[in-house]
Amino acid sequence: MRIDITLKITPGMIRDAQGNERKALSGHLGTHFDVMDKEFPLDFTEREGIVFDVSGVSGRDIDTGDIDLDQVRAGMFATFCTGFQEKEDYGSRKYFTEHPQLSDDLIDALLDRGVSLIGVDCAGVRRGKEHTPKDQYCADRGVFIIENLCNLKAVLEAGGKCRMHTYPMSYAEMSGLPCRVIAEVQAGEYLAAGKKEHGIHDDTETIIKNAEEYIDTLFRGNSDGHDAAHSLRVYTNALKIAEAYPDSDRFVVSLAALLHDADDHKLFRTQNNANARSFLQEQNVDAEHIEQICEAINSVSFSKNRGRRPGTIEAAIVQDADRLDAIGAIGIARTFAFGGRNGRSLEDTLQHFYEKLLLLKDEMNTEEARRIAEMRHSFMEDYLKEFYQETTG
């Protein structure tokens, strides 16, 4: 599970930053690090990471006693969640002049433990005239400071430990390099975070595992594209989309994605989500969550939901996740698998592209799904062009 901790910059933020920080024009905009006449080692693009919650520290520097230094190991990307961006908007004068600081003792302790990178969700580890000298001090010891990270609470909610992926821009003769930073956490930890945040069952991971086994049995022998592999892809898509929506209930998203075809009218004669409800009740899922899961499941059908938007973010995520698996290369494969299984000719099967698949790109609810859909839609258009060229000359 990947969480983007890169600050998203808008034109307004650029104007504010350039008005209050003269270096914002020279590679120091948004998430970046000061180059300090050094080369960023390619090995640093992937590091073991940890996020420390220091948001409760105020009125003084963040010091060694505020974190568990025993958790810091050589080569790590050590990151600090100060929560400052919740108090001051990026680009404001206060953002650049009154942000939290790491104490000199804490910085030295991190250097002594051999960290590779230090990250903060504010404008630097030190303020004012101490900013650049401290960055240089760290760079001379092989450590870069990544500034203006965001969304660190999502990583903390997933346990705080992760794999950090840092990709600087390949700029030359710049004093700062913007970079994209992604925190990769274990999916199980991410689901557990959702469980804690939303007061969900202690056995969340067991229920998810049981759901995977249930759909494997339920769809065994199915070869028309509505199989367990499809449901698992939808589950993966849904968790990826949910990364951008930290307030979404990942328990609901996960089970709705896994069970979304458990009562598909093309496959079963059940009513009122009977299969899904039976499974959830056997897992002792409470009635409120069962209704939320079923609401998300009921939002998936393309034919039954034309012109209607899902009523919850969880339903929107699952609907998008399912529709992404209906387009692109996998969508083409599933379309012909379904057509062949049901005795349809190539011509009839191709008609499905125009009745549904080519319409899905413009019906996505979330930004991440729209981004993925653009690429998959383009692939389908190229496929159709090639198909007609080969069959009509």
pLDDT digits (tens, 9 = 90+) for 184-240: 886 555 455 554 444 445 578 899 999 999 999 998 877 666 789 999 999 999 999
Residue 51: which of 85, 78, 31 has the closest Cα? 78
126 conformational bin, left if phi > 0, alpha if psi -120 to 50, beta if neither: beta
Domains 2-185 and 188-392 belong to one CATH topology = no
Residue type, 96: F
Provide the 3-class DSSP secondary structure of residue 141. coil
Token pair belonging to 24: 């914002």
Q: Long-range pairs for 21-26 at CB < 8 Å and ≥24 separation?
A: 21/91, 21/96, 21/123, 23/175, 23/176, 26/174, 26/175, 26/176
What is residue 346's predicted lDDT score, i.e. its pLDDT?
84
Burial of 297: CB neighbours in 10 Å, binned 0-12, 13-18, 19+: buried
Token pair belonging to 292: 């939320």
Cβ neighbour number for residue 70 with a 10 Å cutoff: 7
Sign of the torsion angle spanned by Cα atoms 27, 29, 30, 36: positive
d(CA 260, CA 315): 11
Domain 2-185 has what CATH class?
alpha beta
- Give the pLDDT of the chain (393 residues) as one tens digit per residue: 789 999 887 776 666 655 555 554 556 788 988 877 788 888 899 999 999 999 999 999 999 999 999 999 888 999 999 999 888 888 788 998 999 999 999 999 999 999 999 999 999 999 999 999 999 999 999 999 999 999 999 899 888 999 999 999 887 777 788 999 999 886 555 455 554 444 445 578 899 999 999 999 998 877 666 789 999 999 999 999 998 887 789 999 999 999 999 998 888 899 999 999 999 999 999 999 999 999 999 999 876 777 678 889 999 999 999 999 999 999 999 899 888 877 888 888 888 899 899 999 999 999 889 999 999 999 999 999 999 999 886
What is residue 14's predicted lDDT score, i.e. its pLDDT?
67
Whether residue 117 contacts residue 146, with contact meaning beta carbons closer than 8 Å, is answered with yes
Query: Could you identify the residue written with the tokens 């009523």?
Result: 311
What is residue 150's predicted lDDT score, i.e. its pLDDT?
93
Cβ neighbour number for residue 235 with a 10 Å cutoff: 25
What is residue 40's predicted lDDT score, i.e. its pLDDT?
87
d(CA 282, CA 290): 11
Residue 276: which of 292, 254, 261, 288 has the closest Cα? 261
What is residue 199's predicted lDDT score, i.e. its pLDDT?
42
d(CA 97, CA 237): 41
Domain 188-392 has what CATH class?
mainly alpha
What is residue 26's predicted lDDT score, i.e. its pLDDT?
55
Alpha helix (H) residue ranges in 67-143: 93-97, 104-112, 131-139
Entry pTM: 0.52
- Whole-angstrom CA distances from 144 to 110, 111, 164, 184, 225 are 12, 11, 14, 20, 48
The domain segmentation of the chain, as residue ranges, is 2-185, 188-392
